[in-house]
Structure 1
Amino acid sequence: MKTIVLASGNKGKLAEFQQMFSKQGIDIKAQSHFNIGDVAETGTTFVENAIIKARHAAQISGHAAIADDSGIEVDALDGQPGIYSARYGGEGASAIDNYQKLLAELNQKQTSNRSARFRCVLVYMRSHKDPSPIICEASWEGSVTTEPSGQGGHGYDPIFWVPEHNCTAAELSAELKNQLSHRGKALAKLLPLLQQAGALS
């Protein structure tokens, strides 16, 4: 079975990737399995940060690597937190710290515009020297609620309203979320590209 390293320490993301790749006969292992720590995300875009993370994981593990850089963009906050979503509440902030800060800042704006989207960029690198990584991007449109709801998912899911299902992302089943989400859409684009490139064999 082919092993691909997921360049992330996020258990929620790992579960999503393992579920999506299990049908392909691919073993997705967290970077922690190879004693790989987080690398400084010094890029200014999702693409730059995903490449930095994938290259780091591939170099240390010796395996192909997938990195996901994703976040929530809130229109009334000029697209913030964006690439800073995971550390919006400060160093060591929890998911709850992050979304509570977002809610507080949005409430201060006193605006009726709460439109937002999750954005995801996936990068697959065959090795750390891969000169042409495979890159896919997707987004998931919704809005920010006034208070959290739901126990599922991770990150900002409890405050992300999914209008077509009349609930938050944290209230969706894992299977349905994987079909709708920014990450699920990006992965649906990535899989056929990996197959074309012979990366899954």
Structure 2
Amino acid sequence: MEKKLVIATQNNGKAREFRAVFEPAGWQVLTLNDFDHLAQVNETGRTFEENARLKADFFAAKLHCPVLADDSGLQVTFLHGQPGIYSARYAGVAHDDAANNARLLAELGGVPAEQRQANFHTTLVLAWPQRPEQDLVVNGDVKGEILSVPRGEDGFGYDPLFYLADLDKTFAELNAIDKNKYSHRGAAIQNLLPVWQQWWQEQEQQG
């Protein structure tokens, strides 16, 4: 099997983060945008891992190649962990960043800075075709807080509102290198790097 990895996303921002890691290592990184007429996966899971597994296993079987899927979300302490697995469709329409950010700001209206703590979480699942029982699963988290006013022009999703005090920057103010270094997906990727090559070799040995 050639060194090809499909990232189960149509989000160019996510794809850019993964390409920055895998392409320098000699991998051909594709996304769902590189294929025609693919069915969508209903994210009916109740956890990040369940949703990531649904996507990884479905597309690995469909495309007959290894697939890396993620499910990520923002967990705001004041909102009891919401929006969580519903982060991408918090305002009711999937991937409407402006609407999602507007709802989050409305939900936190009047909440002081010291009560705006949040966690960004990612679960990554690496799947081999027809072997869902052998999925490789890793997680990544990063702590921050939610600003009352967006900052930064880069990034996507809640990046302009997610503030890292140690850097005095939001995710949307970080360049691609620093985003991979400090983000939840970056943390998950770092947890993936020490284990995925052995996993890959084991899958190849099974034929």
Q: For residue 3 of structure 1, what is the aligned residue in structure 2? A: 4
Matches within 5 A, 1:42-61: 42-61=44-63
Farther-moved stretch of structure 1 (112-121 vs 34-43): 34-43
Normalising by the residue count of structure 1, what TM-score does the alignment of the two structures yield? 0.94
Q: What RMSD, in angstroms, separates the aligned Cα atoms of the two structures?
A: 1.7
| 5+ long unaligned stretches in structure 1 | none
Q: For residue 34 of structure 1, what is the aligned residue in structure 2? A: 35
Matches within 5 A, 1:106-121: 106-107=108-109, 112-121=114-123
Q: Report if the CA contact (8 A) 2:56-2:125 is conserved.
A: yes
Q: For residue 152 of structure 2, what is the aligned residue in structure 1? A: 150
Farther-moved stretch of structure 1 (113-122 vs 86-95): 86-95
Measured after TM superposition, the shift of residue 111 of structure 1 is 7.4
Q: For residue 72 of structure 1, what is the aligned residue in structure 2? A: 74
Look up the SS of the partner of 1:131 in the other structure. helix
Q: Report if the CA contact (8 A) 2:113-2:147 is conserved.
A: no
Look up the SS of the partner of 2:126 in the other structure. strand
Report the residue type matching 1:7 in the other structure.
A
Q: Please tell me whether residue 82 in structure 1 is matched to residue 84 in structure 2.
A: yes
Normalising by the residue count of structure 2, what TM-score does the alignment of the two structures yield? 0.91
Report the residue type matching 1:106 in the other structure.
L
Q: Report if the CA contact (8 A) 1:151-1:158 is conserved.
A: yes
Q: Report if the CA contact (8 A) 2:136-2:199 is conserved.
A: no
Q: Please tell me whether residue 17 in structure 1 is matched to residue 21 in structure 2.
A: no
Q: Report if the CA contact (8 A) 2:144-2:164 is conserved.
A: yes
Q: For residue 184 of structure 1, what is the aligned residue in structure 2? A: 186
Q: Report if the CA contact (8 A) 1:54-1:128 is conserved.
A: no
Q: Sequence identity, in percent?
A: 39
Measured after TM superposition, the shift of residue 132 of structure 1 is 1.5
Superimposed CA distance per residue, residues 24-46 of structure 1 (whole angstroms, 9 cap, x where no aligned partner): 21111011312324310000000
Structure 2 CA distance for partners of 1:33 and 1:69, relative to 1, 3 Å: same
Q: Report if the CA contact (8 A) 2:57-2:128 is conserved.
A: no
- Indicate which of 100, 103, 107 corresponds to 1:101: 103
Aligned counterparts of 2:132 and 2:120: Cα–Cα separation in 1: 28
Q: Report if the CA contact (8 A) 1:31-1:37 is conserved.
A: no
Superimposed CA distance per residue, residues 69-126 of structure 1 (whole angstroms, 9 cap, x where no aligned partner): 0010000000000000000011245111101100110115567400001000000011
Structure 2 CA distance for partners of 1:133 and 1:175, relative to 1, 3 Å: same
Report the residue type matching 2:87 in the other structure.
S
